[in-house]
Amino acid sequence: MKIATFSGPLPELEVDALVVIGFEGQQPSIGDDRIDDLYGSGEFSGKSLEISVLHRPAALKAKRLVLAGGGKADRFGTPELRKLAGVVARSLKAKGARNIAISLEGAYQNDEFTAAAVEGAILGDFEPDQLKTDPKKNEKQIDSLTIAGGSEAAAGRGRIIAESQNFTRVLANEPPNVLTPLALADRARQMAAEQGLECEVLEQDRMRQLGMGTLLGVAQGSAEPPALIIIRYKPADGSVSRDHLGLVGKGVTFDTGGISIKPADGMEKMKYDMAGGAAVLGAMRAIAQLKPAIPVTALIPAVENMPGSKAQRPGDIVTSLAGKTVEVLNTDAEGRLILADALTYAARLGCTHLVDAATLTGAIVVALGTINIGVFTNNDAFVKKVLASAKSEGEKMWQMPLDDEYKEQLKSAFADLQNIGGRNGGAITAAYFLKEFAGDLPWAHLDIAGTAWLDDAKAWMAKGPSGAAVRTFIHLALNWS
């Protein structure tokens, strides 16, 4: 999609559709009498995400004038605009519009709103059909987007962020026969080379030498070897920051559950069990271009969890990189095992603050549904920064408890820890397990199991992977101070 900005008079915009935002009780000032009629009849009221199309608008070169509902003006911020721009893109491309413009007026003519509008349109235009061979699949798409009232720099930033989120969505949508752990490592290498980032991949022998027993235990049931992907961003000016952000993402490219095998119904979606790792890679793609002042290192432990003849068994005891022993009671609680070694290694690489993202538990979906990401932490000051970034980016998150009493559920008679804590508080005990490997470093865990995949298309986004947490990671790095 071509992105441009425009500062001239709106009547001069020659596009398939010019979009203006109308609010409840507040009409846009575009000078077409039919807008009065729409408001007066109640056909358009300005309610959130409402769309109305006027053809051959008077005194405009645009072929269509589109009213887009912003809801109540005093509640309209960048998250609302981002979603509205996605609705506009999806609605108009279905109607055959290929060149659209979005007008930002008054208080909304600033860089944050410009970036949000670009992000929403690019995210809305995305379709998870990269493996479809239908030659007609690209007939309805947005070729160009113009933001009237925005700056080129802000539009460019919005493009980078949205394209990076879509990069994550493409990865998370790949079938597991295509995106194996080593294939994910190859994609990471390619992205790093394109963006000028350092990339290192630890393969199985090296991980065995280091003693990454919890990670390797998960991988041993698969014919596909594991990989620990490490991507490094360093500020170009060479300035030394005392802080070093570590982003860790779960990279299970397919999860059968192992010996504790999952039900067949819905197992095909377990290709997205690497959505946390994909989110980290997408964030690093944007970070490389937007250049925050803080060094950032990403770690993605990539494995396939299969029930092969050498698979980990319930009752096995493995030794982690940190030296803690873990009794494996359920092989389907594998994400916490691979993240444990990755968190320990992140600390060894010098990271001072850690955030992980993982499709970790079904329990978080029971607790929060598909609306909020569950957030856990060992450091309230740090998690406030994470939550502030999430709020700024319109990614809904809810902090969950992590009291020390929950550790009782992880006690084992035979090892330092067991990998599950029972049915009660399952998302919490999973997070507490990770907390044991974050050590004293400020750490936050994002359980994205309920938000990383859309079972049904939304008005603003296609069915499939959502790219959850990407924007939060980017904002956190860019606004670290």
> For 115-143, what is each residue's pLDDT tens digit?
999 999 999 999 999 899 988 777 788 99
Q: Where are the beta strands (DSSP E) in 290-396?
A: 296-305, 317-319, 325-327, 353-358, 373-377
Residues 379 and 409 in one domain: yes
> For 223-267, what is each residue's pLDDT tens digit?
999 999 999 999 987 666 799 999 999 999 999 999 999 999 999
> Count of alpha carbons within 13 Å of 226, Cβ hemisphere only?
32
pLDDT higher than threshold 80 for residue 359: yes
Query: Mean pLDDT for the chain?
Result: 96
Residues 295 and 199 in one domain: yes
Residue 235: predicted pLDDT: 94
In a domain, 220, yes or no: yes
- Given 92, 115, 149, the domain boundary residue is 149
Q: Among 446, 202, 224, 438, which residue's Cα sits nearest to residue 320? A: 438
Residues 185 and 97 in one domain: no
Contact 104, 150 (CB under 8 A): yes
Alpha-carbon gap, residue 334 to 257, rounded angstroms: 8
pLDDT higher than threshold 90 for residue 58: no
In a domain, 160, yes or no: no
Residues 176 and 136 in one domain: no
Give the pairing type, strands 51-55 and 64-69.
antiparallel
Residue 239: predicted pLDDT: 65
In a domain, 157, yes or no: no
Number of residues that make up the chain: 481
Q: Is the pTM of this model over 0.75?
A: yes
Residues 417 and 271 in one domain: yes
Over range 361-376, report the average pLDDT.
Answer: 98
- Give how many domains the chain has, as a whole number: 2
Which residue in the block uniquely carries the two structure tokens 């500062």?
7
Query: DSSP secondary-structure letter at 179?
Result: S
Q: Which residues are catalytic?
A: 262, 336
In a domain, 161, yes or no: no
Residue 240: predicted pLDDT: 64
Which residue in the block uniquely carries the two structure tokens 């937007």?
290
Over range 475-480, report the average pLDDT.
Answer: 97
Residue 19: predicted pLDDT: 97
Residues 380 and 455 in one domain: yes
Residues 133 and 185 in one domain: no
Residue 43's domain comprises: 2-149
Beta-bridged to residue 3, according to DSSP, are 145
In a domain, 431, yes or no: yes
Supply the Cα-derived Rg of the chain in whole angstroms: 24
Residue 475: predicted pLDDT: 98
* CATH number of the domain where residue 309 is located: 3.40.630.10
> For 162-197, what is each residue's pLDDT tens digit?
999 999 999 999 999 999 999 999 999 999 999 999
Q: Among 257, 248, 223, 453, which residue's Cα sits nearest to residue 338? A: 248
